[in-house]
Amino acid sequence: MAAVPTPPPVSWNGHVDTPTEGPAPTDADEATETTGATEVTEVAENEAEAAAAAHEYKGRVIARSGLLLRDRPTRSSRVIGTAAYGQIVHIFCKTRGDNVNGNDRWYLLTDGNWAWGSAAYIENIGQAPRWC
C-alpha cells in the first residue's frame, strides 16, 4: 500500500494543536488555524491520491483461452471469475504461490471482485507490482 502522509496533530476540539505561549488566541487566530488545517488536509489528500495513482499497477491477459481468476494463489483453489484474452486488469500486489509454467508469482486483481491470477498469464504494463 502507498504510504499516506500523517496529518498534523489535532486537539480534542478539532483544531490543530498550537503552542500555548503568547497572548490568548482571538477569533481571527482561530479562523486562520482552521483554514490552515483545511489546507494541510487538502494537500495531504492530494498527495495520497497522487501516490495511489503513481502505484497503480496494470497488466494485460495473454492467455489465449482467457485467465481463470481464483480465490487463492493456487491452481487448486476455487475459480471465481475469468478475464478475457487481451483484457487490461488492475493489479494490487503480487505474492508467491503455485508454480504455473515455471512462474510462481500470482497477482491480486482488483477488477470487480478481488481475485488471484497467475502472473504467467499476465503481461505487466509499466512497472512490476509491489509485493503483498
- Residue 45 binned pLDDT confidence (cut-offs 50, 70, 90): low
Q: What is the pLDDT of residues 18-40, one digit of tens each?
A: 444 455 555 554 444 444 544 55
Q: What is the pLDDT of residues 96-126, one digit of tens each?
A: 999 999 999 999 999 888 999 999 999 999 9
Residue with more model confidence, 15 or 103: 103
Q: How many residues does the chain have?
A: 132
Rounded Cα distance between 108 and 123, Å, is: 14
The fraction of the chain above a pLDDT of 90, given in percent, is 55
